[in-house]
Structure 1
Amino acid sequence: MGKETTPSETEWLVMEVIWNAEGDITASEVIRTLKDSLNVSARTIRVLINRLLAKGIIRYEVDRKDSRVYHYYVVKSKEECLREKQERFVRNYFGGNSTLAVASFIEKAHLSDEQFCELEQLVEKMKENRKD
Protein backbone atom coordinates (compact mmCIF):
# COMPACT_ATOMS: atom_id res chain seq x y z
CA MET A 1 0.00 0.00 0.00
CA GLY A 2 1.14 3.52 -0.75
CA LYS A 3 1.56 6.41 1.60
CA GLU A 4 -1.73 7.72 2.98
CA THR A 5 -2.52 11.13 1.52
CA THR A 6 -5.94 11.72 3.06
CA PRO A 7 -6.84 12.77 6.60
CA SER A 8 -7.34 10.12 9.30
CA GLU A 9 -10.60 10.29 11.27
CA THR A 10 -9.13 12.62 13.89
CA GLU A 11 -7.28 14.70 11.29
CA TRP A 12 -10.60 15.03 9.45
CA LEU A 13 -12.01 16.94 12.45
CA VAL A 14 -9.13 19.41 12.18
CA MET A 15 -9.71 19.68 8.43
CA GLU A 16 -13.40 20.45 8.97
CA VAL A 17 -12.33 23.54 10.92
CA ILE A 18 -9.82 24.54 8.23
CA TRP A 19 -12.25 23.87 5.34
CA ASN A 20 -14.92 25.93 7.10
CA ALA A 21 -12.59 28.86 7.77
CA GLU A 22 -13.00 31.92 5.62
CA GLY A 23 -9.52 32.02 4.11
CA ASP A 24 -6.51 30.99 6.16
CA ILE A 25 -6.57 30.09 9.85
CA THR A 26 -3.96 29.99 12.61
CA ALA A 27 -3.18 27.00 14.82
CA SER A 28 -4.49 28.97 17.80
CA GLU A 29 -7.84 29.40 16.07
CA VAL A 30 -8.01 25.70 15.24
CA ILE A 31 -7.10 24.82 18.83
CA ARG A 32 -9.67 27.22 20.25
CA THR A 33 -12.36 25.65 18.06
CA LEU A 34 -11.48 22.01 18.79
CA LYS A 35 -9.83 21.79 22.20
CA ASP A 36 -12.97 21.21 24.26
CA SER A 37 -14.93 19.15 21.74
CA LEU A 38 -12.02 16.77 21.05
CA ASN A 39 -10.93 16.71 24.69
CA VAL A 40 -7.27 16.78 23.66
CA SER A 41 -4.34 19.06 24.38
CA ALA A 42 -3.21 21.94 22.19
CA ARG A 43 -0.03 19.95 21.54
CA THR A 44 -2.03 17.04 20.12
CA ILE A 45 -3.88 19.38 17.77
CA ARG A 46 -0.54 20.82 16.62
CA VAL A 47 0.69 17.26 15.93
CA LEU A 48 -2.44 16.65 13.82
CA ILE A 49 -1.79 19.88 11.91
CA ASN A 50 1.81 18.77 11.25
CA ARG A 51 0.57 15.42 9.92
CA LEU A 52 -1.79 17.24 7.56
CA LEU A 53 1.15 19.35 6.38
CA ALA A 54 3.24 16.21 5.78
CA LYS A 55 0.41 14.70 3.74
CA GLY A 56 0.23 17.84 1.59
CA ILE A 57 -3.40 18.51 2.48
CA ILE A 58 -2.66 21.95 3.90
CA ARG A 59 0.18 24.47 3.67
CA TYR A 60 1.10 27.54 5.64
CA GLU A 61 2.47 31.03 5.35
CA VAL A 62 4.41 32.74 8.13
CA ASP A 63 2.75 35.86 9.51
CA ARG A 64 4.54 38.99 8.27
CA LYS A 65 4.31 40.71 11.65
CA ASP A 66 4.99 37.74 13.92
CA SER A 67 7.16 34.92 12.60
CA ARG A 68 5.88 32.61 15.35
CA VAL A 69 2.38 32.62 13.83
CA TYR A 70 1.56 30.37 10.88
CA HIS A 71 -1.49 30.83 8.68
CA TYR A 72 -2.75 27.49 7.37
CA TYR A 73 -4.69 27.13 4.16
CA VAL A 74 -6.26 24.29 2.21
CA VAL A 75 -4.45 22.56 -0.65
CA LYS A 76 -6.89 19.65 -1.07
CA SER A 77 -10.61 20.36 -1.05
CA LYS A 78 -13.01 18.31 1.03
CA GLU A 79 -14.44 16.83 -2.18
CA GLU A 80 -10.97 15.76 -3.35
CA CYS A 81 -10.20 14.11 0.00
CA LEU A 82 -13.57 12.33 -0.02
CA ARG A 83 -12.99 11.04 -3.54
CA GLU A 84 -9.52 9.75 -2.63
CA LYS A 85 -10.84 8.09 0.54
CA GLN A 86 -13.66 6.45 -1.41
CA GLU A 87 -11.30 5.18 -4.10
CA ARG A 88 -8.88 3.79 -1.53
CA PHE A 89 -11.73 2.16 0.41
CA VAL A 90 -13.12 0.46 -2.70
CA ARG A 91 -9.63 -0.65 -3.74
CA ASN A 92 -8.70 -2.01 -0.28
CA TYR A 93 -11.97 -3.65 0.72
CA PHE A 94 -13.66 -4.53 -2.57
CA GLY A 95 -10.70 -5.25 -4.82
CA GLY A 96 -11.40 -2.08 -6.80
CA ASN A 97 -14.89 -3.29 -7.76
CA SER A 98 -17.17 -0.24 -7.40
CA THR A 99 -20.28 -2.24 -8.28
CA LEU A 100 -19.60 -4.67 -5.44
CA ALA A 101 -19.00 -1.79 -3.02
CA VAL A 102 -22.24 0.00 -3.95
CA ALA A 103 -24.23 -3.25 -3.83
CA SER A 104 -22.83 -4.01 -0.37
CA PHE A 105 -23.87 -0.60 0.95
CA ILE A 106 -27.34 -0.78 -0.58
CA GLU A 107 -27.97 -4.28 0.80
CA LYS A 108 -27.10 -3.19 4.34
CA ALA A 109 -28.78 0.24 4.24
CA HIS A 110 -32.45 -0.71 4.83
CA LEU A 111 -33.63 1.84 2.27
CA SER A 112 -37.21 3.00 1.97
CA ASP A 113 -39.10 2.84 -1.32
CA GLU A 114 -38.56 6.58 -1.67
CA GLN A 115 -34.80 6.20 -1.20
CA PHE A 116 -34.69 3.39 -3.79
CA CYS A 117 -36.52 5.70 -6.19
CA GLU A 118 -33.95 8.45 -5.53
CA LEU A 119 -31.14 5.99 -6.25
CA GLU A 120 -32.78 4.91 -9.50
CA GLN A 121 -33.09 8.55 -10.56
CA LEU A 122 -29.44 9.15 -9.68
CA VAL A 123 -28.33 6.16 -11.76
CA GLU A 124 -30.43 7.35 -14.72
CA LYS A 125 -28.96 10.84 -14.43
CA MET A 126 -25.43 9.41 -14.34
CA LYS A 127 -26.16 7.32 -17.44
CA GLU A 128 -27.39 10.41 -19.30
CA ASN A 129 -24.30 12.39 -18.29
CA ARG A 130 -22.02 9.62 -19.61
CA LYS A 131 -23.68 9.90 -23.04
CA ASP A 132 -22.77 13.59 -23.29
Structure 2
Amino acid sequence: MDEWRIAVRDKKYSITTAELTVMKVLWEQQRCTAAVIIEQIGKHRPWHFRTIKSLLRNLVAKELVVFEVDSRDSRLYHYSPLISEETYLSQEREHFLELHYDGDFGALLNSFLKDKLSSTEEAEAMRELLLQAAQRLRSP
Protein backbone atom coordinates (compact mmCIF):
# COMPACT_ATOMS: atom_id res chain seq x y z
CA MET A 1 0.00 0.00 0.00
CA ASP A 2 1.27 3.49 -0.82
CA GLU A 3 2.59 5.50 2.13
CA TRP A 4 0.29 8.42 1.40
CA ARG A 5 -2.74 6.12 1.59
CA ILE A 6 -1.57 4.93 4.99
CA ALA A 7 -1.23 8.56 6.11
CA VAL A 8 -4.77 9.33 4.90
CA ARG A 9 -6.21 6.23 6.55
CA ASP A 10 -4.43 6.93 9.84
CA LYS A 11 -5.68 10.51 9.98
CA LYS A 12 -7.13 10.88 13.45
CA TYR A 13 -9.67 13.65 12.92
CA SER A 14 -11.65 13.96 9.74
CA ILE A 15 -13.47 17.27 9.43
CA THR A 16 -15.15 18.41 6.21
CA THR A 17 -14.88 22.01 5.07
CA ALA A 18 -18.48 22.66 6.14
CA GLU A 19 -17.90 21.03 9.54
CA LEU A 20 -14.77 23.14 9.95
CA THR A 21 -16.94 26.26 9.68
CA VAL A 22 -18.93 25.01 12.69
CA MET A 23 -15.78 24.00 14.57
CA LYS A 24 -14.32 27.49 14.15
CA VAL A 25 -17.33 28.97 15.93
CA LEU A 26 -17.04 26.36 18.68
CA TRP A 27 -13.31 26.98 19.11
CA GLU A 28 -14.02 30.69 19.45
CA GLN A 29 -17.00 30.31 21.80
CA GLN A 30 -15.85 27.14 23.64
CA ARG A 31 -19.41 26.43 24.79
CA CYS A 32 -22.56 27.65 23.07
CA THR A 33 -26.00 26.75 21.79
CA ALA A 34 -26.94 25.87 18.23
CA ALA A 35 -28.67 29.26 18.03
CA VAL A 36 -25.35 31.05 18.64
CA ILE A 37 -23.60 28.87 16.04
CA ILE A 38 -26.38 29.52 13.52
CA GLU A 39 -26.19 33.26 14.20
CA GLN A 40 -22.39 33.37 13.83
CA ILE A 41 -22.34 31.33 10.63
CA GLY A 42 -25.28 33.32 9.24
CA LYS A 43 -23.09 36.43 9.23
CA HIS A 44 -20.92 34.87 6.52
CA ARG A 45 -22.90 32.09 4.87
CA PRO A 46 -26.54 31.74 3.81
CA TRP A 47 -26.89 28.25 5.30
CA HIS A 48 -30.25 26.96 6.49
CA PHE A 49 -30.40 26.22 10.23
CA ARG A 50 -31.12 22.54 9.47
CA THR A 51 -27.84 22.30 7.59
CA ILE A 52 -25.94 23.61 10.60
CA LYS A 53 -27.78 21.26 12.95
CA SER A 54 -26.90 18.34 10.66
CA LEU A 55 -23.27 19.38 10.75
CA LEU A 56 -23.43 19.50 14.55
CA ARG A 57 -24.92 15.98 14.63
CA ASN A 58 -22.11 14.75 12.37
CA LEU A 59 -19.47 16.30 14.63
CA VAL A 60 -21.08 14.73 17.70
CA ALA A 61 -21.18 11.34 15.93
CA LYS A 62 -17.48 11.71 15.07
CA GLU A 63 -16.82 12.44 18.76
CA LEU A 64 -15.32 15.83 17.95
CA VAL A 65 -18.07 17.76 19.71
CA VAL A 66 -20.06 17.04 22.85
CA PHE A 67 -23.33 18.53 24.04
CA GLU A 68 -25.05 19.02 27.37
CA VAL A 69 -28.77 19.48 27.84
CA ASP A 70 -29.58 22.73 29.63
CA SER A 71 -30.70 22.06 33.21
CA ARG A 72 -33.52 24.64 32.98
CA ASP A 73 -34.73 23.93 29.44
CA SER A 74 -34.39 20.39 28.08
CA ARG A 75 -34.88 21.69 24.52
CA LEU A 76 -31.65 23.69 24.75
CA TYR A 77 -28.29 22.04 24.06
CA HIS A 78 -24.87 23.50 24.81
CA TYR A 79 -22.14 22.34 22.43
CA SER A 80 -18.41 22.20 23.15
CA PRO A 81 -15.42 21.03 21.09
CA LEU A 82 -13.62 17.90 22.26
CA ILE A 83 -10.43 18.75 20.39
CA SER A 84 -8.55 22.01 20.39
CA GLU A 85 -8.00 24.05 17.28
CA GLU A 86 -4.24 23.66 17.70
CA THR A 87 -4.51 19.87 17.90
CA TYR A 88 -6.54 19.81 14.70
CA LEU A 89 -4.29 22.27 12.87
CA SER A 90 -1.17 20.37 13.95
CA GLN A 91 -2.65 17.18 12.52
CA GLU A 92 -3.60 18.96 9.28
CA ARG A 93 -0.10 20.42 8.88
CA GLU A 94 1.45 17.00 9.40
CA HIS A 95 -0.99 15.39 7.01
CA PHE A 96 -0.33 18.05 4.34
CA LEU A 97 3.43 17.64 4.74
CA GLU A 98 3.25 13.86 4.39
CA LEU A 99 0.76 13.86 1.53
CA HIS A 100 2.29 16.57 -0.65
CA TYR A 101 5.99 16.66 0.33
CA ASP A 102 6.66 13.10 1.54
CA GLY A 103 7.39 14.52 4.98
CA ASP A 104 10.22 16.73 3.70
CA PHE A 105 9.80 19.97 5.67
CA GLY A 106 12.70 21.60 3.83
CA ALA A 107 10.95 21.07 0.48
CA LEU A 108 7.73 22.53 1.86
CA LEU A 109 9.50 25.56 3.29
CA ASN A 110 11.50 26.08 0.10
CA SER A 111 8.35 26.05 -2.03
CA PHE A 112 6.61 28.55 0.25
CA LEU A 113 9.64 30.82 0.29
CA LYS A 114 9.88 30.66 -3.49
CA ASP A 115 6.14 31.21 -4.10
CA LYS A 116 5.01 33.47 -1.26
CA LEU A 117 7.91 35.60 -0.06
CA SER A 118 7.28 39.08 -1.39
CA SER A 119 9.43 41.53 0.56
CA THR A 120 12.75 41.87 2.34
CA GLU A 121 10.79 42.46 5.55
CA GLU A 122 9.11 39.06 5.19
CA ALA A 123 12.48 37.46 4.43
CA GLU A 124 13.99 39.02 7.57
CA ALA A 125 11.02 37.87 9.65
CA MET A 126 11.46 34.33 8.31
CA ARG A 127 15.18 34.47 9.04
CA GLU A 128 14.45 35.49 12.63
CA LEU A 129 11.92 32.66 13.04
CA LEU A 130 14.45 30.14 11.73
CA LEU A 131 17.11 31.46 14.11
CA GLN A 132 14.70 31.16 17.03
CA ALA A 133 13.81 27.61 16.00
CA ALA A 134 17.50 26.69 15.82
CA GLN A 135 18.04 28.11 19.32
CA ARG A 136 15.12 26.08 20.70
CA LEU A 137 16.59 22.93 19.16
CA ARG A 138 20.00 23.61 20.73
CA SER A 139 18.57 24.28 24.21
CA PRO A 140 18.18 21.26 26.51
Partner in structure 2 of residue 54 of structure 1: 61
Determine whether 1:13 maps to 2:27: no
CA distance in structure 2 between the partners assigned to 1:36 and 1:115 by the alignment: 33
C-alpha change, 1:111 and 1:55, in structure 2 (3 Å) is farther
Identity of matched residues, % = 27
Q: CA deviation at 1:90?
A: 0.9
Q: CA deviation at 1:20?
A: 1.6
* Matched residue SS, 2:44: helix
1:108 to 89, 93, 115: 115
Determine whether 1:95 maps to 2:102: yes
Q: Which has the higher contact order (CA 8 A, sep 6+)?
A: 2
Structure 2: which 5+ runs fail to align?
1-7
TM-score (normalizing by structure 1): 0.87
Alignment of 1:1-132 (within 5 A): 1-2=8-9, 5-21=13-29, 23-132=30-139
C-alpha change, 1:4 and 1:44, in structure 2 (3 Å) is farther
Structure 1: which 5+ runs fail to align?
none
Corresponding pairs, count: 131
Runs of 4+ in 1 over 6 A off after TM superposition: none
CA distance in structure 2 between the partners assigned to 1:97 and 1:104 by the alignment: 11
